């Protein structure tokens, strides 16, 4: 049994509901197969950055499942965003926006559980201020919140503002709490301040371009801003800012987690040269990292 004929795929694709938003970039201007070419292409690096972050967390940190979940979902956002901008179909819009909401839930977990003891690990833990984890109620609560958000998303598919409020409200809390912990918490460090500065610079810079583009073009069609706005490709720059802002936020959480487990003096930064972004290193077991122990 061979593959279905091409017209079958075309009919299936045409039967999909269109997205409820259409960004400023001119549709099908570069390729007849890709609706928003530059918006789609600028989403791909997000997945590559997620692989980089996942590898560095395994190589240089005490690896925990929380890091795998955070980097995995960031990679899924990149794939979903590319599919959404390439098709402008609501089914693929959901592949972009729902993982963004799920990412936020994981980030809430990272923030609230940065000082949890977790399971009894085989690694030596120096810090004495760890507390019992909130897993018995926090994880089910976050999962239930994700289910509710998903149900509401599909019950009201044409209400883009529902997604926007859900997403922005959590981002606002994460931003405020990150600033508080980086500058005003008694256990703040220069490394955490540097990582939050980078996260804010990238993310808020990209968000400013996103807001400006939408103020000119709107989110219901690409013709509002004229050719000059379409040529600017500000949404693609938003993707770059959101990608690197999220990367540095996860590394900030990793620095805080490492300080809670091993003491701030045993947490340092690597990278930072040329195009290699900063990454967090946990010095544990007499200087051996997780990746080094695995290879023994």
Cα–Cα dist 142/70, whole Å? 14
DSSP 34: B
Q: What is the pLDDT of residue 158?
A: 87
54 close to 72: Cβ distance less than 8 angstroms:
yes
90 close to 19: Cβ distance less than 8 angstroms:
yes
Tens digits of per-residue pLDDT, 95-143?
A: 999 999 999 999 999 999 998 876 545 445 555 567 777 768 899 999 9
Sequence-separated (6 or more) residues with CB below 8 Å from residue 292: none
> Which among 99, 91, 85, 89 is positioned nearest to 43, based on CA atoms?
85
C-beta atoms surrounding 219 within 10 Å: 17
Tens digits of per-residue pLDDT, 57-94?
A: 999 998 899 999 999 999 999 999 999 999 999 999 99
- Torsions phi, psi for 91 (to 5 deg): -60, -40
Domains recognised in the chain with CATH numbers = 27-112+132-294 (1.20.1070)
| pTM listed for this prediction | 0.89
Name residues of the chain where pLDDT drops below 70. Answer: 1-7, 9, 118-129, 135, 219-227, 274, 285-296
């Amino acid at each position: 049994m061979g593959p279905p004929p091409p017209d079958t795929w075309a009919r299936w694709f045409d039967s999909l509901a269109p997205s409820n938003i259409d960004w400023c970039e001119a549709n099908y201007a570069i390729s007849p197969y890709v609706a928003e070419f530059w918006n789609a292409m600028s989403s791909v690096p997000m997945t590559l950055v997620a692989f980089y972050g996942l590898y560095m967390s395994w190589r240089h940190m005490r690896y925990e499942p929380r890091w795998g979940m955070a980097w995995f979902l960031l990679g899924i956002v990149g794939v979903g965003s590319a599919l959404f901008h390439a098709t402008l179909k609501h089914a693929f819009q959901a592949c972009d926006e729902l993982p963004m909401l799920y990412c936020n839930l994981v980030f809430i977990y990272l923030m609230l559980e940065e000082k949890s003891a977790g399971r009894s690990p085989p690694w030596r833990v120096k810090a004495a201020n760890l507390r019992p984890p909130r897993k018995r109620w926090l994880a089910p609560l976050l999962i239930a919140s994700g289910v509710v958000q998903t149900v509401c998303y599909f019950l009201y598919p044409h209400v883009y503002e529902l997604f926007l409020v859900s997403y922005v409200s959590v981002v606002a809390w994460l931003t405020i709490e990150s600033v508080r912990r980086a500058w005003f918490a008694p256990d703040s460090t220069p490394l955490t301040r540097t990582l939050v500065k980078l996260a804010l610079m990238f993310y808020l810079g990209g968000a400013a371009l996103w807001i400006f583009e939408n103020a000119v073009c709107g989110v219901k069609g690409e013709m509002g801003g004229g050719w000059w706005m379409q040529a600017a490709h500000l949404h693609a720059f938003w993707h770059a800012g959101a990608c690197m802002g999220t990367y540095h936020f996860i590394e900030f959480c990793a620095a805080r987690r490492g300080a809670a487990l091993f003491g701030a003096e045993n947490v340092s930064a690597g990278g930072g040269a040329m195009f290699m972004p900063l990454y967090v290193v946990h010095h544990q077991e007499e200087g051996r990292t997780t990746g080094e122990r695995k290879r023994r």
